[in-house]
Amino acid sequence: MTSHVLPAERPLLTDVFDPALPPVLTVEPGDTVTVRTLDARGYLERPRLPDGAGERAFATSRGHCLAGPIAVAGARPGDVLAVTLRSLRTDGWGWTATGAPTPLNRRLGVRRDELLLWEVDDSAGTAVNQLGIEVDTAPFLGVVGTTPAQPGEHSTIPPRPGCGGNVDCRSLVAGSTLFLPVHVDGALLCVGDGHAAQGDGEVCGTAIECGMTTELHLDLVEAAALPTVHATTPHERITFGFDADLNRATDAALADVVTWIAAELGVGFETALALASTAVDLRITQVVNDTWGVHAVWPHGALRRRG
């Protein structure tokens, strides 16, 4: 196993997924990568009030500022890449803004951009803004995704059922593993969009957006629980649904967790669905990325055979 370091330098960053992009780093399965990512906007310095001015990595951004792509040697379409987040440490500051032009913001009648700047204390697990309001933190990466096979540039904004990407699931904290299908040789993993804290939904369009230093362990798995995007965390198992229609996103997340329960407990689909109704939570992951995100949460140990 080899350890790699990937700094947040302009030639090592991207703001799109694109199968034609050459990898900025190639690793072997089982290697670790300590990767530093800028915040979603790619600030090179702390933004300033009142308008969040500050130099950015991309003069004109097409999407999130991400690190990558990272190639995993031997990864082929049809494989599953396991991305384990061993540790996450913020840059010590972050921002939240309401001005994203999302359908939800338009329906709520949001007329101006409200900017909060945060000081983040990883040791204390808190962040405080210029209003003196404090929240607890739980750092995670909003974007962790493999590259689609279709030629051309793919936006980082919507999450994708087969690739992950802008999942924005706040449960994917340190100790979690996200399982991602591989669609191109090398997988071409891109990561970023650090969040110091976020509620389910990311309702204003942003969380506490921050730079992050993350230790990733990358491996290929032969027998993943599911062929779709799914995760394990220190507390639960998670399946995901992404779709422009909330019902279809819910159906996808639920069908996958029921399939997982059926395989794990050796029961039929209908029995697994009944069991899921006693223990599984459905949550709205995010509402802001042109695609509904729903995740089904199956707590470890919640369903078990006695004895």
CA angle in degrees (0–180, nearest 5) for 188-193-197 = 140
Alpha carbons 129 and 43: distance in angstroms, whole number: 18
Domain-terminating residue out of 181, 199, 221 = 221
Statement to judge: residues 175 and 239 lie in one domain: no
- Evaluate whether residue 253 is within a structural domain: yes
Domain-terminating residue out of 169, 198, 221 = 221
The residue among 220, 205, 127, 196 whose CA lies nearest residue 166 is: 205
Count CB-CB contacts under 10 A for residue 307.
3
271-to-11, 181, 241 alpha-carbon distances in Å: 52, 28, 21
- Evaluate whether residue 198 is within a structural domain: yes
The residue among 37, 298, 42 whose CA lies nearest residue 171 is: 298
Statement to judge: residues 236 and 209 lie in one domain: no
Statement to judge: residues 101 and 139 lie in one domain: yes
Statement to judge: residues 7 and 108 lie in one domain: yes
Statement to judge: residues 101 and 23 lie in one domain: yes
What digits encode the pLDDT tens for the residues 110-134? 877 889 999 999 999 999 999 999 9
Alpha carbons 284 and 226: distance in angstroms, whole number: 21
Domain count, the chain: 2
pLDDT of residue 115: 92
- Evaluate whether residue 63 is within a structural domain: yes
- Evaluate whether residue 160 is within a structural domain: yes
pTM of the shown model: 0.95
pLDDT of residue 1: 83
The amino acid present at 31, given as its one-letter code, is: D
**Residue 2 CA to its chain's centroid (Å):** 24
Alpha carbons 155 and 214: distance in angstroms, whole number: 23
Q: What is the Cα Rg of the chain in Å?
A: 19
Alpha carbons 146 and 299: distance in angstroms, whole number: 26
Compute the CA torsion angle 134, 140, 143, 147 (nearest 10 deg): 170
pLDDT of residue 100: 72
Domain-terminating residue out of 221, 244, 273 = 221
What digits encode the pLDDT tens for the residues 24-49? 999 999 999 999 999 999 999 998 88
What digits encode the pLDDT tens for the residues 92-104? 999 999 877 777 7
Statement to judge: residues 42 and 99 lie in one domain: yes
Statement to judge: residues 161 and 185 lie in one domain: yes
Residue 160 DSSP label: B
Statement to judge: residues 215 and 235 lie in one domain: no
- Evaluate whether residue 304 is within a structural domain: no
Polymer length of the chain = 307
Statement to judge: residues 107 and 178 lie in one domain: yes
Alpha carbons 142 and 184: distance in angstroms, whole number: 22
Statement to judge: residues 118 and 161 lie in one domain: yes
- Evaluate whether residue 305 is within a structural domain: no
Q: Is 210 helix (H, G, I), strand (E, B) or coil?
A: strand
First CA to last CA across the chain, in angstroms? 38
**Residue 196 CA to its chain's centroid (Å):** 13
pLDDT of residue 108: 81
Count CB-CB contacts under 10 A for residue 80.
23
Q: CATH code at 263?
A: 3.10.28.20
Statement to judge: residues 238 and 163 lie in one domain: no
- Evaluate whether residue 31 is within a structural domain: yes
- Evaluate whether residue 42 is within a structural domain: yes
What digits encode the pLDDT tens for the residues 200-226? 999 998 999 999 999 999 999 988 999
Statement to judge: residues 257 and 163 lie in one domain: no
Which residues span the domain enclosing 287? 230-299
Residues of the chain with pLDDT under 70: none
**Mean per-residue pLDDT over the chain, rounded:** 95
Residue 255 DSSP label: H
Q: CATH code at 176?
A: 2.60.120.580
